[in-house]
Amino acid sequence: MTTKKTKKTKISPTQLTMAWMKRRGFIAQIVERWNPFAKVRQDLFQVIDIVAVNEQGDLLGIQVTTRANISSRRAKVRESLGAMYWATHNQVEVHGWQKVGPRWTVKVCEMEYDKYKAMWVEKEFEGNTSKKVTQ
């Protein structure tokens, strides 16, 4: 008896965020692109992987990563002049994905730039719950 091996398809954090944003009522588009000459992925303003908008007009720039890399991506956003300009009028979120048992969970960091105080304001929450955790 021969057993047929099923190939497990890996889903990327970007695809997880695309599906999650759709469930949240957003239309989303991947804006990072592959540069074949440099052989690297290039983000919009060096930090935004996905742009999403909802019917209320909320515009999000999203940096997507794994849960283990969320702190380095937050630092990347803080250092980006493009992200700072974006965040003065729109929202920036960092999504960190992790598989817990059979389910994927997301940690979200909402990042706003307060141009009057010249500082970043950040709020974290678990995406699968509505409980906010401030940091």
pLDDT digits (tens, 9 = 90+) for 54-109: 999 999 999 999 999 999 999 999 999 999 999 999 999 999 999 988 899 999 99
β-bridge partners, 30 = 50
- Report yes or no on 62 lying in a domain: yes
Instruction: Read off φ and ψ for residue 74, nearest 5 degrees.
Output: -65, -40
The domain total for the chain is 1
pLDDT at 2: 61
Percentage of the chain exceeding pLDDT 90: 76
The answer to whether 133 and 109 are in contact (CB under 8 A) is no
With beta carbons less than 8 A apart as the criterion, state whether 109 and 127 touch.
no
Domain carrying residue 80: 13-134
pLDDT of residue 32 exceeding 70? yes
Q: Which residues of 52-72 are buried (b: 16+ CB within 10 A; e: fewer)?
A: beeeeeeebbbbbbebebbee
Residue 76 lies in a domain: yes
Is residue 72, in this structure, part of any structural domain at all?
A: yes
**Reduced to 3 states, what is the DSSP secondary structure of residue 49?**
coil
pLDDT at 131 over 50: no
Residue 83 placed within a domain: yes
Read off the pTM. Answer: 0.85
